[in-house]
Structure 1
Amino acid sequence: MSTLADTIHIENVVASSDLGQELALDQLSTDLPGAEYNPEDFPGVVYRLQEPKSATLIFRSGKVVCTGAKSVDDVHEALGIVFGDIRELGIDVTSNPPIEVQNIVSSASLEQSLNLNAIAIGLGLEQIEYEPEQFPGLVYRLDDPDVVVLLFGSGKLVITGGQNPDEAEQALAHVQDRLTELGLLD
């Protein structure tokens, strides 16, 4: 039997690291095949990988941000490839720069339609924002785990702000429990 936790899918993992040195981005973008650098538009080099599908933003300070990966493992693999490619250019990169997950965005479903007006009233105004004229979802800010859950009338959810994949499951369980307590879930 499937559970609501089975509906959770990681959509994006954002992580950061630091190469520990300043970089010459003009030269890096020339030497790194496929790298894009348009300093008028964005202050970093964009380096895309097809496998695992991701984009790494490389800044002059040596800081890097990897985005678009679908798992924490993919982030580590992608940054490992990026660090290796940079090393091949003769740039000294420490063997294992620390990688810190900044944000995980997941989607999930409560598998039924939701009455967002009733949910807004039931949950109270402390932790929610709901302005359907501005945005079709209800914004529910949780303290534990420290994430934001967007609830939509379709029953779909977006869970963002987590740094660990388990937080999406905890958030989904919390939302399900609260809505059940309020009599707003079948």
Structure 2
Amino acid sequence: MDRTERLHDQLALSSSSADQSDLPRPRSPTVSNLICSVQTGCYLDLKRVYFALRNTEYNPKRTNAVIFRLQDPSVTAIIYEKGRVLITSAQSEAEARLAGKKIIRLLQLSVHPEANFCNFKVESLMANGDVCHPIRLEELAKANPAYASYEPEVFSGLVWQSIKPYARVLIWVTGSVSINGQVSQAEVQEVFRKIVELVRPFRS
């Protein structure tokens, strides 16, 4: 290899390194909605619960559950007859756990003193992040037909579904990413790292 060729290779390597260093730093996802469940350990009289608690909705013709809105922390709870309470709109596991304990306490003080706080579980969470660069969604979808679905005339985002780990990810042309279906922040971060690497070749 002569001197000119070596110089050309060095310039190409330098250019490649510069391109990598120019990549914007991704913004790690933060939880925007946590869905958790807790068991009361007893059957609940939904009609009595509806009349005993404030900020409730109950329409047994539509769904056999009481919808209860707790103010602090601000969450929505779906209370089922068999004793299951589904908590949505929490911002963290600690907030959801606190909300669950408050709801159980309200049930104890109103109509079901036998209710207990049992089997708290994170069902799923939604987190939002940003790879911080625009993405060529059509090319990304064509390169990954087994995992990507992109129909811009129906929905403006690309839907990405992976198996290991399972995730349903919405990817937007701006670089915004919404991750659904995980049960821990660690899983969310793992999925996000893979998405960052996945979309990098399709930066526009």
Moved more, 165-174 or 75-84: 165-174
Tell me the equivalent position of 2:122: 101
How many residues align? The count is: 180
In terms of fraction of residues, the more helix-rich structure is 2
Deviation at 1:90, TM superposition (A): 4.8
Matches within 5 A, 1:46-57: 46-57=67-78
- 1:19 counterpart letter in structure 2: T
CA–CA distance in 2 between the matches of 1:149 and 1:118?
17
Tell me the equivalent position of 2:101: 80
1:146 is aligned to 2:130 = no
Segments of 5+ residues of structure 2 without an aligned counterpart are 1-23
CA–CA distance in 2 between the matches of 1:57 and 1:3?
39
Which of 44, 60, 71 aligns to 1:39? It is 60
CA RMSD of aligned residues (A): 1.7
- 1:171 counterpart letter in structure 2: V
1:30 is aligned to 2:48 = no
Deviation at 1:84, TM superposition (A): 0.8
Deviation at 1:147, TM superposition (A): 1.1
Tell me the equivalent position of 1:157: 177
Contact 2:125 2:183 in 1 (8 A): yes
CA–CA distance in 2 between the matches of 1:50 and 1:9?
22
- 1:172 counterpart letter in structure 2: F
Superposed CA offset, 1:86-127 (max 9, x none): 111251123x311111110111111111110111122x2111
CA–CA distance in 2 between the matches of 1:176 and 1:160?
16
Give 3-state SS (helix, strand or coil) of 1:23's partner.
coil
Tell me the equivalent position of 1:185: 203
Larger Rg: 2
Segments of 5+ residues of structure 1 without an aligned counterpart are none
CA–CA distance in 1 between the matches of 2:170 and 2:111?
45
TM-score by length of 2: 0.82
**Could you say if the C-alpha distance between residues 3 and 53 of structure 1 is closer, same or farther in structure 2, counting changes exceeding 3 Å?**
farther
Q: Percent identity?
A: 22
